[in-house]
Amino acid sequence: MANPESETFLGIEGGGSHLVALHVDGAGCFLARHASGPANLRLLSDPDLRERLETVRYQFPNPSAVGIAFAGLRTASDARRVRAAAEALWPERPLWIGNDLECALAADGTAEKNRARVLVLAGTGSCCFGQEGSGCTAKVGGWGHWLGDRGSAYHLVHRALREACFEPLDRFGTWGICGQRILRALQLNEPDALISWIQSAGKSEIAALAPEVLAAASTGDRLARAVLKSCALELARDALACAARLGRARKPIEFVLAGGLLQNAPMYAAAVRHAIRTKRSPGKTQFVYLKRETTWGAVEKIRALTVTSSGGATSPTGSAPSLSSSHTRRPTVFIPTSAGLAPTEQRNPRSITLDQLPIESAIDLMVSEEAGVAAAVQTQRAGIAKLVRHGVRSFRNGGRLFYIGAGTSGRLGVLDASECPPTFRTPPEMIQGIIAGGQHALWSAVEGAEDDPDAGAAAVQFRGIGGKDVVVGIAASGRTPFVWGALEEARRRGAKTALVCCHPQLEFARGHRPDVVIALPTGPEVLTGSTRLKAGTATKLVLNLVTTLAMVRLGKVVSNLMVDLNPSNIKLRDRAARIVQEITGRDPAIILETLEQQRWGVSAAIRVLREQSK
């Protein structure tokens, strides 16, 4: 081996959710990390395997030694596949090849000869792996989501969909909090849409919904809580079986809890611990969590190998609607009338010769038309202010804001809603977008979706919209049936309602006018009927005003600085540090240290630094 001071080690672990690589120096100190997509060996062809490892090699071309672990690596043949790919990329380097279970159990680097441990691993998939100090091992589970993965995130979600969502819908006509959260997370409008989604969804996509099930269990969904306890019990039984196979059913043993589901969901981990304790003597049972991510195990394995060979060294939630059947009877929808064509459908006399204009002249024309958007929005200042106040009141009472639209209008609503969590660190359920036709309609037209008022009402129903919420219908013409079905159902459920449109001449049926009407006088489009132009620009401006000013009123802005942004990348972390410095005037090094301590919570860091300055 090279000089220990100059050597470096590379640890790689591929799992059901992602592949992670860690680069460390000769003393085991962290140098760099790289992550990419799913990499379960069972699901990778040889070219796929090489491509995954080539991505890592590009980042770390010259380590002194490489340790590689994969979920799904079970046989000698599997190990040979990985070794062949690794030797081609890192020739003449010492290699350790193993599976993710060995890797995880080695991650803390503190293995002892006289200690028996059982790794209880629950993430996208699950498995229990036991090891005696003597080297005896036992494995329970790990058969994949079709045959095993008991107590995994996939198992939890799959059971929740059946037992907390569709069984009560079939038997009692109810759709609870768990179902509402799952529909919101997938940008789907009603339960029927989950049929086609789950038929094409992969294991990781399904498992990714586990936080929604856990949140439902923690906020009052009795059936979701029952599913959680049942899954935890199954995982605990596997852990106990693994201990028994090591001959440790009644002897001291340490259970090592690992994987995203156990490490990031305290409620679930507590249920697993409780289920294990009820079957074992407390004095002979210990629980520990891995303090480092499991990829460190690959690092520790290859370090040990090279040393030996060298002879040295909240959210707001909705109420559960009660359904009499899967085809609930809807009240009549009163769509407003209009004496003539909507302004956006009328021809613009200035652009009659659009197809003949030179490009430069067409640009001048379109820009001049867009220049009037701000003035059009300004005419609706009072209505926008009223909608902001409704939103603030709703948020303070634990309610939510929903945008509902079709086509361009729906996409604008989804866009504004999706930008609030990174900008203001709001929970994703706080501001939601619903588009006619569901997720597919975000990038492709869904035929007839906007003409179905019952679908709009169903979307409202299955998101659990109620009296604390605000529902904003977005429709350039002001007359989209999907939107009006949603508004009528929302009003019936006690929610505040608003309409954002570009049709000032609408006439509403008595008793069916929304609480707020924002009718933007943008006039005819340059391209007749193309509401992605002026109408879209004006609508986006209104939605920006509503959410931005509501967040200002909620205290998420100091001066004109975002003090609740989510610094999820380098650019945003730089911005977060500048914001804290602007407000506190403290030294940059102290600011970075405080932000790290507060997990990059900008408001929390400002609070701590102000306290220190007193």
Q: Catalytic positions, please?
A: 419, 450
Q: For residues 334 and 412, give the distance between their C-alpha atoms in angstroms, rounded to a whole number.
A: 24
Which amino acid, 463? R
Distance in angstroms between the alpha carbons of the first and the last residue of the chain: 55
Return the H-helix or E-strand segment holding 558. strand 557-558
Beta bridge partners of 17: none
CA distance linking residue 111 with residue 304, whole number of Å? 11
Q: Which residue pairs from 87-91 have beta carbons closer than 8 angstroms and sit at least 24 positions apart in sequence?
A: 88/50, 89/50, 89/53, 89/54, 89/57, 90/10, 90/57, 90/63, 90/66
Residue 121 pairs in a beta bridge with 127, 258
Q: Is 72 left (phi over 0), alpha (psi -120 to 50) or beta?
A: left
CA distances to 176, 423, 462 from 571, rounded to whole Å, are: 39, 13, 37
Bridge partners of 10, per DSSP, are: 23, 66
Can you say whether the dihedral through the CA atoms of 50, 51, 52, 53 is positive or negative? positive
Q: Which residues contact 491 (CB under 8 A, 6 or more apart)?
A: 497, 512, 514
> In which residue are the tokens 């000089």 written?
3
Distance CA 474, CA 137 (A): 61
